[in-house]
């Protein structure tokens, strides 16, 4: 739903080397923390970013969050202390980690842990630490689940669901990204025709063999990229909008901008909720600015469409005149 903030805590993942690892250059092997796209310099940045999007919860990701457990637990506690029990937090991990880690994560306030076992073990996970950790996580108070890339269908995940070991299994459509396309191509994977990131081959077999299980959720890359991202933007936009900003279907904000002195607006009797005065310009309801220019009350202006994100990237400027 895009209601959760994505908190990237640690870019290293020393115990795994997945050929399909999607981490891009800007995230791989960095120790920086990012809240959505915002680089975190202080704890307050994390809280601000969650407030900015009116987050319903958070998802903790990396790299491998369990390799930076102190930091991971710190942010989980921070979020729970600020937003309370209802702020649901899940964590992605590619290692089992063991009881001590599960205990510490649960104590910090983590709600749910989503495991991604190595591809080489799929089909042989019973009787290994990957089976054990599902029960251990639950004993320590976490909800254990799987989140795996849709490389191929695997019955064993359904068995874990039916045995009551795991709560659900999310399967993400197998994807190529800037970070993995070379190695993916070396392994013989190709893009689906006409698609920017989804990989050929896997989807139908997975849907056929796993899709009918009521606790398997298949997430297409189109859905993830577009819908999740757009919903997150929409939440931010609705949360941050000023009374005169329009929120678009894409989750951007639209308003008018003019260098006409602010006094002119007061002179014309424009109600205050329709504009705001900035250092060297005025921002105003776009439709009002359009009317004012048509009526000759104002000479210059443009319609600005902007992302509600921290960096406020402008999507488009349309001059009016
Ligand atoms: S476990 Fe995840 S972060 Fe680690 S190498 Fe594999 S895909 Fe990348």
Per-residue pLDDT tens digits for 44-59: 999 999 999 999 999 9
Q: Where in the chain is the domain with CATH 3.20.20.70?
A: 4-235
Radius of gyration over alpha carbons of the chain, in Å? 24
Instruction: Give the three-state DSSP class for 146.
Output: strand
Confidence of residue 121 (pLDDT cuts 50, 70, 90): very high
- Are 52 and 239 within 8 A, CB to CB? yes
Distance CA 72, CA 90 (A): 11
| Cα angle 21-24-30, degrees, rounded to a multiple of 5 | 100
Choose which residue among 21, 28, 59 to substitute to test ligand 1 binding: the one with the highest number of ligand atoms within 8 A of its C-beta: 21
Nearest Cα residue to atom 3 of ligand 1: 63
Choose which residue among 6, 10, 64, 172 to substitute to test ligand 1 binding: the one with the highest number of ligand atoms within 8 A of its C-beta: 64
Token pair, residue 229, equals 């991202």
Q: Has residue 69 got a pLDDT over 70? A: yes
> Between 95 and 187, where is the model more confident?
95
Distance CA 126, CA 160 (A): 9
For the CA of 62, the closest atom of ligand 1 is 3
**Share above pLDDT 70 across residues of the chain, in percent, rounded to a whole number:** 97
What class does CATH assign to 4-235? alpha beta
Phi-psi bin for 54: left (phi > 0), alpha (psi -120 to 50), beta? left
Average pLDDT over residues 242-266: 93
Nearest Cα residue to atom 1 of ligand 1: 94
3-state SS of the chain: helix, strand, coil percent to 5? 35, 25, 40
Say if ligand 1 is within 6 A of residue 18 CB.
yes
Confidence of residue 201 (pLDDT cuts 50, 70, 90): low
Distance CA 162, CA 268 (A): 69
Distance CA 188, CA 231 (A): 34
Distance CA 288, CA 265 (A): 11
Distance CA 199, CA 195 (A): 8
Nearest Cα residue to atom 7 of ligand 1: 21
Say if ligand 1 is within 6 A of residue 154 CB.
no
Token pair, residue 158, equals 């359904």
Instruction: Give the three-state DSSP class for 144.
Output: strand
Could you count the other beta carbons within 10 Å of the beta carbon of residue 29? Answer: 12
Q: Has residue 190 got a pLDDT over 90? A: no
Question: Ligand 1 center to residue 123 CA distance, Å?
Answer: 19
Confidence of residue 140 (pLDDT cuts 50, 70, 90): very high
Nearest Cα residue to atom 6 of ligand 1: 18
């Amino acid at each position: 739903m895009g209601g959760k903030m994505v908190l990237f805590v640690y870019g290293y993942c020393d115990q795994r080397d997945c050929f399909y690892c999607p981490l891009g250059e800007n995230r791989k092997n960095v120790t920086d923390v990012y809240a959505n796209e915002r680089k975190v310099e202080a704890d307050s940045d994390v809280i601000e970013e969650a407030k900015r999007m009116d987050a319903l919860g958070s998802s903790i990701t990396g790299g491998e969050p369990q390799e930076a457990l102190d930091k991971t637990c710190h942010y989980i506690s921070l979020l729970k202390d600020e937003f309370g029990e209802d702020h649901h937090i899940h964590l992605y991990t590619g290692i089992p980690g063991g009881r001590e880690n599960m205990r510490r994560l649960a104590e910090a306030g983590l709600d749910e842990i989503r495991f991604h076992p190595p591809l080489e073990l799929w089909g042989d996970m019973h009787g290994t630490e990957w089976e054990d950790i599902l029960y251990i996580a639950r004993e320590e108070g976490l909800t254990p689940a799987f989140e795996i890339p849709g490389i191929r269908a695997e019955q064993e995940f359904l068995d874990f669901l039916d045995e009551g070991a795991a709560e659900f299994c999310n399967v993400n459509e197998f994807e190529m990204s800037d970070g993995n396309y070379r190695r993916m191509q070396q392994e013989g994977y190709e893009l689906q025709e006409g698609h920017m990131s989804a990989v050929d081959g896997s989807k139908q077999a997975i849907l056929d063999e796993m899709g009918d299980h009521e606790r398997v959720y298949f997430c297409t890359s189109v859905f993830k990229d577009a819908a999740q991202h757009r919903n997150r933007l929409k939440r931010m936009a609705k949360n941050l909008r000023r009374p005169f900003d329009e929120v678009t279907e894409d989750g951007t904000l639209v308003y008018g901008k003019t260098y006409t002195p602010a006094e002119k607006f007061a002179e014309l009797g424009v109600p205050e909720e329709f504009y705001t005065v900035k250092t060297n310009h005025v921002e105003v309801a776009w439709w009002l600015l359009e009317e004012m220019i048509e009526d000759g009350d104002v000479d210059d202006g443009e319609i600005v469409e902007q992302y509600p994100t921290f960096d406020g990237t402008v999507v488009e400027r349309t001059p009016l005149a």
